[in-house]
Chain A
Amino acid sequence: MSLQTVAVWVVVIGVFLVTVKPLGTYIAKVFSYEPTFLDRPMRPIENGIYRLFGIDPSKSMTAKQYATALILTNFAWIIISYVLLRLQGHLPWNPEHMTAVNPQLAFNTATSFGTNTNWQAYGGESALSYFSQFGNLSFLQFVTPAIGGTMLIAFIRALSGKKMGNFFVDLVLMCTRLLLPLAIVFTVLLVWQGVPETLAPYLHVHTITGQSQVVARGPIASWESIEHLGTNGGGFTNANSGNPLENPTPLTNIFESIMMGLVEVAFFYSLGVMTGKKKLAWTLIGVAGIFYFAMGAMIYFPMHAGSPVVNALGLHGHVYRVGTELRMGTGGDTIFGMSTMGFTTGSVVTAHDSALPITGLSFMIGMFLNLVFGGFGVGLLNMLMLVIIAVFLMGLMVGRTPEFLGKKIEAREVSLASIAFLLHPFLILVGTALSVALPVGLKGVYNPGPHGFSEILYGVLSGAANNGSAFAGLGAALPYYEVLIGIIMVIARFASVIAMFYLAESLLKKKAVPETSGTMRTEGLLFGGVLTGAVVVLNALTFFPVVALGPLAEHYLLMAHHLF
């Protein structure tokens, strides 16, 4: 392990460690409606908007009102986005004369960006105008993570016995106090390192060998920063962060890896501040951290050992370079990979479809668990869902009614958490089974053998985890997959949230029970251990069969030099 490899990891993880407390405290302040430094420029404008459109910021919503406002708003955006994509040819900022996006692709793209998935069945630089990129999809890359953030904040408020708050106010705060200021800073950093930011048409190059080359450019840096900050992951171009135009240097690779986790990790600390349980926050950070590092190991070591079949050719060196960009180094590829799959961003720096089987499995694990810090807001929400299940399991073991944050966890709460938990594997396994059983599903497979099964599994999984990356050989542009994955993304995003909101309301209504020496502790090493165990066991039981059919089968076949 060279210095360059370790240095990248130290910087990214160091930044998380340094920022988690101040940023987490700041977020908690913003969403306790306390004054912060950006109030001065923003407040007057926002208050004007609130007055004009009949929003009373001091009036809290009920859980049902909050969820209704959230879902209505989100669906309105999906519809607007769809219409704008269909009208692309008639809209401004279209120097490359892109025409209308076809109906099923527009449906897939609007739901994909509208659910913070950012699965892409198109190549950005060959299908979309600048306006579609920044005025439509980039806008969604701000507001859809913000929605995820509001879900989390409302849930945390309920957990700590406070009122749910006002959805519209939370949405605005999430955008203006958190995402926008960070996006501005990181955009400048990315441009400094070479990411284009222009409205000029594509660059026409007449090469020294007499060929012509068209280089896609555009307002890439401003897209890139919100793509990662909001754990969105949709690339401006098809190759996403592998493309030197999106990620030109090892430093931009570090910036993008940092952006993906910055707010997600801080959210965990905000939970601690808002509930007054900082030890719980550190426990959960520890649990997510274990999985984060395990994923990193599963990416790095196979890549470094290389493929036995390629190694048998006797080249100079063993490091696996298929589908990777040389400038990042394996250290850079690893930190980006564990971040994009842990934080379920779905942006890619290496070609995931070409990844060695165990590396590919690591990517899948990030999406199976969906709580390795996880997507913007929703990652911690998933973690809390598992916490409730773990608390219940502990209660069973010692034979008493479990409590969490002073509220009794009873049949209703456990049922709701179980529904929310089971939805994820249900969508994944049924979606995969359906696609494998239907000829139209198999038609999308690009690579033969178990890898083809992995492609289908990964695609459905990516939709269900609202991740958005792909084993990109899969024929994602087939109408079957556009519609199937479109539907899965919407159900995955909203159904479990509804269950979690009911859970929040049910907790709010309960009387708090005072903590005694007999209360089961829901923090610290023991609880962290039980929680980790629960995550591993529940997921292993659910997903081992598909893992055995896909990446594991492929791994052992590759070790035996078996090709397809």
Chain B
Amino acid sequence: MKQYLKPLIGVTLFLWVLLGLAYPLAMTGISQLLFPYQANGSVVKIGNRVVASAIVGQYFNQKGYFWGRPSDTVNATTGKPQPYNAANSTPSNLGPTNKVLIENIKARIAALEKANPGLKVSQIPPDLVEGSGSGLDPYISPQAALIQIPRVARATGLSTQYLHTLINQATLGPQWGLFGNRVVNVTELNVEIYKARHG
């Protein structure tokens, strides 16, 4: 037993200083130097005000903004629903045969129909009514953005043509033309709408 103690302490200390301390601190230093914008969380500012992290979704339920994916995050202390709580990411964890899952989807369809008169169910893509994996997904499909144009145009007075342009600007992917889906960044899109309305 004793013969192992000294090597154990030595190797543990050495590896801890190297991997538990030097590695994360050095990587933080290097990252801050090479990619400061990404390393700090892709912060979006209007003037001096921090309005978003470009890679994290936000909760939008106003008629004048595009809505993102349903979010099932909760408050970490109270456990009550708090959509897009970026300090407590979580999915709904509802199973495929759970009634609540289907009821939630139906309720979201109904909410969309109410907010967008004339909208047909067959126009609504699944991503707009099915909750995301993190509750923080900033993206929706182009189809999900297009069907919201009439509502946003009415509420904001911005022309549908202009909204089309904004959507195109906020659309990205597939990455390098090869990887992943074609998606619209709702956070960035709505920041642009805010700018257009509030100068």
Contact = CB atoms under 8 A, between A and B. Distances in A.
Interface stretch (B48-56, B148-156, B158-166): B48-56
7 contacts: A168-B7, A223-B24, A250-B181, A317-B143, A354-B94, A454-B95, A455-B95
B122 interface: yes
Contacts of B19: 138-139, 142-143, 175, 180
Most-contacted residue by chain A among B131, B174, B181 (CB, 10 A): B181
A314 B176 CA distance: 33
Nearest to B38: A194
Contact of A354 (B1, B101, B134): B101
Contact of B133 (A55, A245, A316, A350): A350
A471 B94 CA distance: 10
Interface residues of B, number: 101
A433 to B, nearest CB: 21
A563 B105 contact: no
Interface in A421-460: 446-452, 454-455
Nearest to A307: B96
A452 B1 CA distance: 46
B89 to A, nearest CB: 4
B173 interface: yes
A498 interface: no
Given A215-B87, A315-B122, A323-B92, A192 B24 contact: no
Contacts of B99: 563-564
A77 B181 contact: no
A17 interface: no
Contacts of A196: 38-42
A473 B72 CA distance: 13
Contact of B98 (A11, A219, A447): A447
Given A138-B24, A245-B55, A202 B102 contact: no
A327 B181 contact: yes
B183 interface: yes
A171 B86 contact: no
Interface of A: 3-4, 7-8, 11, 45-46, 49-50, 52-55, 68-69, 72-73, 76-77, 80, 123, 125-126, 134-136, 138-139, 142-143, 168, 171-172, 175-176, 180, 183-184, 187-188, 191-200, 202-209, 211, 213-217, 219, 221-223, 237-239, 242-245, 248-251, 253-254, 306-307, 309-310, 313-329, 331-332, 348-351, 353-357, 446-452, 454-455, 471-473, 554, 557-558, 562-564
Nearest to A318: B126
B87 A125 contact: yes
Given A171-B11, A180-B23, A558-B96, A239 B90 contact: yes
B23 A183 contact: yes
B114 interface: no
A557 B97 contact: yes
A199 B39 CA distance: 10
Interface in B71-122: 76, 84-99, 101-102, 105-106, 109, 121-122
Contacts of A208: 46, 51-52, 65, 190-191, 194
Contact of B93 (A68, A73, A356, A446): A446
A198 B132 contact: no
A314 B121 contact: yes
Contacts of A223: 24
A62 B79 CA distance: 53
- When A and B form their complex, which 10 residue pairs have the shortest distance between CB atoms, in order from nearest? A53-B10, A250-B180, A242-B133, A139-B20, A351-B91, A239-B89, A473-B93, A239-B134, A451-B95, A250-B179
A206 to B, nearest CB: 6
A313 B112 CA distance: 14
Nearest to A4: B174
Given A139-B20, A215-B41, A221 B27 contact: yes
Contacts of B42: 194, 196
B4 A242 contact: no
A328 B125 contact: no
A334 to B, nearest CB: 12
A205 B56 CA distance: 11
B90 A238 contact: yes
Interface string B164-184: 000000000111101111010
A168 B176 CA distance: 44
Nearest to B77: A126
Contacts of B106: 313
A205 B39 contact: no
A481 B87 CA distance: 25
Given A8-B179, A310-B126, 5 more contacts: A73-B12, A175-B19, A310-B102, A323-B93, A326-B183
